[in-house]
Amino acid sequence: MDFREIQQTGFTQDYEINNSRYSSSVRTAENSNLILDGLSAEMRRVLEPSLRSVILRKEQFLYQEEDHLEYVYFPITAVVSEFKMLEDGRMVEISVTGKEGAVGLSALFSDSNVVSNCVQVSQAGQAKRVDAVTFEKLLRTNEKIRTGLSHFVDTYIRQISQKAICNMYHSVRERFCTCLLMIQDRCGLRTLDLTHEQIARTLGVYRPSVTNIAQELRECSMINYSRGGILIRDRKRIEQAACSCYVAIGA
Ligand SMILES: [Zn+2]
């Protein structure tokens, strides 16, 4: 059963994630984005005519480096990763965003509206999007919308800073576990639509090292995997095996 089938059977509604600041949202706000939810009714009325619902496909690139920002995305069930491209062609993930945030804000706040990193969908799903020009006008003229975004911007900056430390000092095994937890917090699924190749790309390492770790975690009954994805079998032990960044970033 892949994650799309799980969604259709309503599995996500039954699944509870403990020790996560998003746990309540996973259970109660299956079709919402927390930034949009946090807007006042008045603000939602202002923004709603410009919002469009979209389905983001797995591994779809929303942006490449130096693209001009066209849309700001508000993930709902989709999970989106931001990557920095290395000179040798590898990519390293610098942030992951789901229903708690928005994608494209950093470019929106720059003078040029140029995107500085690759942005790729890691878990397919729903999102809302608004064209960048419209949203920028709203931001400039509406302090309440700016305030509504400030918490996420703070979290986003904290995540990028922590990732810099993580990529340098923490083991691939620890980062692998952190990666699983962060994605699960955002999509709320027990089976993550992830391949070893995708995780290797996320961590900026070669696939055999990811496969070795995945095998070890499977032998310990912490995960299972197949072509359908990675099943989280023992979340508590994965939390224990994750690096301190998981707690520092705030899930
Ligand atoms: Zn770390």
DSSP state of 114: B
- Centre of ligand 1 from the C-alpha of residue 158, in Å: 13
Domain with 108 in it: what CATH number? 2.60.120.10
Is 187 found in the same domain as 219?
A: yes
What's the gap in Å between 239 CA and the centre of ligand 1? 12
Whether residue 70 is found in the same domain as residue 157: yes
CATH number at residue 17: 1.10.10.10
The angle at the Cα of 129, spanning 124 to 135, to the nearest 5 degrees, equals: 150
Cα of 170 vs its chain's centroid, Å: 20
Please indicate, yes or no, whether residues 76 and 150 belong to a single structural domain of this protein: yes
Is residue 198 located within the same domain as residue 233?
Answer: yes
**Distance from the CA of 240 to the center of ligand 1, in angstroms?**
12
Q: How many domains does the chain have?
A: 2
- In this structure, are 187 and 205 located in the same domain? yes
pLDDT tens track for 96-146 = 999 999 999 888 877 788 998 999 999 999 999 999 999 988 888 888 788
> Same domain for 59 and 104?
yes
Report CA(98)–ligand 1 centroid distance (Å).
Answer: 19
Residue 29 has pLDDT above 50, yes or no: no
Q: What is the pLDDT of residue 250?
A: 65
Q: Looking at the structure, do residues 203 and 133 belong to the same domain, yes or no?
A: no
Q: pTM (2 decimals)?
A: 0.81
The residue with greater pLDDT, 108 or 232, is 232
Give the sheet arrangement for strand 71-75, strand by strand: 52-56, 125-131, 71-75
Residue that terminates a domain, selected from 114, 143, 166: 166
Q: What percent of the chain has pLDDT over 90?
A: 54
Residues 6+ apart with CB under 8 A from 152: 35, 100, 101, 102, 105
Together in a domain, 145 and 71: yes
- Phi, psi (rounded to 5 degrees) for 72: -105, 130
Start-end of H helices in the chain: 3-8, 11-14, 23-28, 34-38, 41-47, 105-108, 132-141, 143-169, 172-187, 196-203, 207-219, 235-241, 245-249
Same domain, 196 and 142: no
The 8-class DSSP code of residue 90 comes to -
- The pLDDT value recorded for residue 63 is 94
**pLDDT 10s digits, 78-106:** 999 999 888 887 788 899 999 999 999 88
Is residue 207 within 8 Å of 96, Cβ to Cβ?
no
| Same-domain check for residues 8 and 43 | no
Residue 231's domain comprises: 3-25+171-249
- Chain segment 144-158, per-residue pLDDT in tens: 788 878 888 888 899
Q: Which amino acid is at 18?
A: N
> Do residues 44 and 104 share a domain?
yes
* Res 23 pLDDT > 70: no
pLDDT for residue 239: 97
